[in-house]
Chain A
Amino acid sequence: MSLTDLMSMAKPNLESRGKILAKIHGRELLNCFLCIRCTSGCTALKLLELKPHEIEKLVNLGFVDELVSSDIIWTCATCLKCFQRCPQKASPYHVIIALRNLAVEREAKVPEAYMKAVSQILEGGLAEQVQKVTNNKMETCDRESLKLFKIKPPKEGFQTVFLKALEEK
């Protein structure tokens, strides 16, 4: 490969790039021409410095490794604005998800919140715990007092199925 990133001396990783291309089913979601609309509207940019156009371009050139091991791919709030508004029908969102998958595959460090969410699902079948709310009369209400149906614990064997599905991915 005839390309070097002189800031980190990294070389493009074409194998990983190929994996990502397989995950996003071809090149279309990478077809960026740098209008930078995605970054202009990115929900995660202001607080967390996520720049979707840079991710598009870096993956396009094959600089995947640095991204996979970085925290930045985990800051995407998955609002999907970038996907919706891209004039070239590219999607930084899909690329970011593919990068996350690759990170898990490589057993790179996954932020704690994500691991928490996974164990949460494993335990209760839901990504969030069932919570109580406070109404405008300052009364604390649970689901029952709001006449919402009761959430049942997951079926028996759910954990085995879930873990198996995770492994397959």
Chain B
Amino acid sequence: MTRIGVYVCHCGLNIAGVVDVENVANYALTLPNVAVARHYTYMCSEPGQSMIQDDIKTQKLDRIVIATCSPRMHEETFRKAVSEAGLNPYLVEIVNLREQVSWPHSEEPKKATEKAKALVRMGVARVKLLEPLERQTVSVEKNVLVVGGGIAGIQASLDLANAGFKVYLVEKAPSIGGRMAQLDKTFPTLDCSACILTPKMVDAGKHQNITLLTNSEVTHVKGFVGNYEVTVLKNPRFVDEARCVGCELCTQSCPVKIPDKFNENLSQTRAISIFSPHAVPKVATIRPEYCLRLKTKNKTVCGKCVQACETKAINFGQEPEVIQLKVGGVVLALGSEVFDASRMFEFGYGRFPNVISNIEFERISDASGPTGGKILNPKSRKPPNSIIFVQCVGSRDKRFHEYCCRVGCMISLKQAILAREKLGKDVDIYVCYNDLRAFGKGYEEFYRRARDMGINFMAGIPSDIRSTPDGSLYFEVFESGTNKLLELHADLVVLANGLVPSEGIGKMKELFHVLKSRDGFLLEAHPKLRPLECSTAGIFLAGACQGPKDIPDTVAQASGAAAKIIDLLSRGAIELEPLKAAVDKDLCSGCRVCEALCPFTAIEMKRKEKAGKEELRVEVIEALCQGCGLCSAACPTGAIKIEQYGNKQVLAQVDAAFAGAAHKGGSHR
């Protein structure tokens, strides 16, 4: 005879403030098979858990119903607690009295209590039919794939490599370094970005446990947590990496001038060039879309670089290389892109050459940039007499991106300080802001420092920016601090462009079966409790691909993701959640509906011989299945079901839901 224990949690006043918990517990005692029913302030606390454990032992309970918060919160906690008391952890049913009762129905406590009773009744009906399940163990690969070679990818790779894992770091650009490599100084300490990044880039390039795959992209992903099979396409550089010494003789000889992407197209480079001054690996790359010989496919054209190269590193016949990797876990560190301000016509970006983006300002201010670190007006090539920073460009704007970019304010503060330091105290510097958000460690002090340096902060954003015939810029702004309409003139306007999801994020989302949040960035499994991982097991997130982030947060998240992977893979084997799809092979008709639906590619069609005929039958790859239930809902013959959520259990719940309504004769409503 089944003996059920029902435990009603107060959750402080979160539940008990609305639901009459004592009433619910007393009601539970009247339900069939319920041997014990109790209520307690915090069921998840140590005394709460041991209350359940004691009852399992003394009252010989074999099923447990816990009426508390969402199972996403504490199901794992309670499973662990009951298994410590000797009960199979899958014989616990969580009834959600907080997110589904007390919070949404806080205005109607009586009805809420009735709903709580109904949910407990359904939980009791269901828990009786649960079956004990065992967790399956699979072995894992101790290699890790890191996608993206910015500071997030570099930090995660170094942490993993130092912990003894073999890391494959895939970067689509010819060099690692990412966005941080383009920055001049970093807030709030004004460390030079190259000085703190370059050593890490070099470490990553030299580390014996890290394989750098630059100029490469991930094209296929198969498998499941612990056992991913990844295909990487290494695009040809047309330069032999082993031979190139990075002398740049080829660049000097190349006749084709092209815009320099690393310098935000503010200067020119050549069709054969090294990606950036601090590139790792420091190897030249030929851009096939510009190179005269590769464009014309004529072996007699040009060839100046071949003559210039002393190490004979140039190889026009280089082919794309396909690399197969087996990895246990993946860190996605895809980064972000800078908002394209030409979409905001009113600010004149793209129309006026002296309206620039903040990333362009970084290149202009950087000693290795197009102006050698001198802040110059891009049009007149003279140092500006007045600079205006305009905040919240493309962010906090429902027309473009609703979220706060989290770095724009601090970047503008930093750039204003750099401009003050480089151009002296006679230059007028204004920051037009909306709310100035300086929230991190040392950030508020940095804001004060900017004010102390005579940088003027204008509480108000202009409606549009206009240009005078001589090319200088002016606009009006209503300054709410002085309550005045002010007119500002400037030689240079720097827009605080926000961060936006990178273009390739959609493709990566498809490849790795991860989800996007509403803002277009990748979605974490839980915004507070599981911020480093995706809902797909074995895939972790680092840096700005999860949401806009500054460098300190990015590095922290990257190290966190690396630690999560070490935790996942260090034992060499992992336990899999047993709530999976299971197939009744006699019922399966081989219609393949489930195969097309499964978002985790966990369904495989197998050919079977039966009575001389060949038949298609479904097989579930248990390690891949996440138990989402799509297949089960779609199966026309009912052959596929999720463990613990079959017809048996669900229909019992439905019956219990209507058990209370029956005696009202359906007159209600």
- Could you list which residues of chain A lie within 8 angstroms of chain B, going by C-beta atoms? 1-7, 27-28, 31-34, 51, 53-54, 56-58, 60-61, 63, 88
Contacts and interface: CB of A to CB of B under 8 A. Distances in A.
A6 B486 contact: yes
15 contacts: A3-B428, A3-B489, A5-B485, A5-B487, A7-B484, A27-B452, A31-B448, A32-B481, A34-B480, A34-B481, A53-B481, A57-B479, A57-B481, A61-B486, A63-B484
A5 B488 contact: no
Given A3-B488, A31-B452, A63 B386 contact: no
Contacts of B100: none
A88 B450 CA distance: 14
B385 interface: yes
B456 A61 contact: yes
Contacts of B436: 33
Nearest to B481: A57
A7 B477 CA distance: 12
B626 to A, nearest CB: 49
A3 B386 CA distance: 10
A56 B72 CA distance: 52
A31 B428 contact: no
A31 B482 CA distance: 15
A50 B556 CA distance: 48
B459 interface: yes
B452 A54 contact: no
A60 B488 contact: no
Contact of A33 (B451, B482, B488): B451
A136 to B, nearest CB: 48
Most chain A CB neighbours (cut-off 10 Å) among B436, B457, B482: B482
Nearest to B457: A33
B490 A7 contact: no
Nearest to B453: A27
Contacts of A53: 481
B554 to A, nearest CB: 28
A7 B428 CA distance: 21
Given A1-B428, A27-B454, A33-B457, A61 B485 contact: no
Interface string B491-520: 000000000000000000000000000000
Interface size for chain B: under 10, 10 to 19, 20 to 34, or 35 or more residues?
Answer: 20 to 34
B489 A61 contact: no
A6 B487 contact: yes
A60 B452 CA distance: 11
Contacts of B482: 54, 57-58, 61, 63
B488 A2 contact: yes
A2 B454 contact: no
Say whether chain B's binding surface is mostly helix, strand, loop, or mixed: strand
Contacts of A88: 448
A53 B459 CA distance: 12
Nearest to A54: B482
A131 to B, nearest CB: 41
Given A2-B386, A27-B452, 5 more contacts: A1-B428, A5-B487, A6-B484, A33-B436, A51-B483
A7 B490 CA distance: 20
Most chain A CB neighbours (cut-off 10 Å) among B428, B448, B484: B484
Interface of B: 385-386, 428, 430, 436, 447-448, 451-452, 454, 456-457, 459, 476, 479-490
Nearest to A56: B481
B425 to A, nearest CB: 11
Contact of B487 (A4, A31, A56, A58): A4
A14 B315 CA distance: 64
A2 B490 contact: yes
Contact of B447 (A4, A28, A33, A58): A33
3 A-B pairs with least C-beta separation: A57-B481, A2-B489, A2-B386
Contacts of B481: 32, 34, 53-54, 56-57
A47 to B, nearest CB: 19
Contacts of A34: 459, 480-481
Contact of A6 (B430, B447, B457, B485): B485
A60 B486 CA distance: 14
A60 B479 CA distance: 13
B385 A4 contact: no
Contacts of A28: 452
Contact of B486 (A4, A31, A32, A56): A4
Contacts of A1: 428
A54 B488 contact: no
B452 A3 contact: no
Contacts of A5: 484-487
A2 B385 contact: yes
Nearest to A59: B482
A56 B482 CA distance: 9
B634 to A, nearest CB: 58
Nearest to B386: A2
A3 B459 contact: no
Contacts of A4: 486-489
Contacts of A63: 482, 484
B16 to A, nearest CB: 39
Given A53-B481, A61-B456, A3 B487 contact: yes
Most chain B CB neighbours (cut-off 10 Å) among A4, A28, A57: A57
A69 B474 CA distance: 29
Contacts of A33: 436, 447, 451, 457
Nearest to A36: B481
A1 B490 CA distance: 10
A51 B385 CA distance: 32
A3 B485 CA distance: 11
A88 B448 CA distance: 9
B460 to A, nearest CB: 11
A58 to B, nearest CB: 5
A7 B488 contact: no
A143 B320 CA distance: 105
B456 to A, nearest CB: 6
Nearest to B478: A6
Nearest to B480: A34
A1 B451 CA distance: 18
B516 to A, nearest CB: 37
Nearest to B426: A14
B384 to A, nearest CB: 10
Contacts of A3: 428, 430, 486-489
Contacts of B459: 34
A105 B196 CA distance: 54
B481 to A, nearest CB: 4
Nearest to A57: B481
A60 B428 contact: no
Contacts of B487: 3-6
B485 A7 contact: yes
A112 to B, nearest CB: 28
Contact of B451 (A7, A31, A51, A61): A31
A61 B479 CA distance: 11
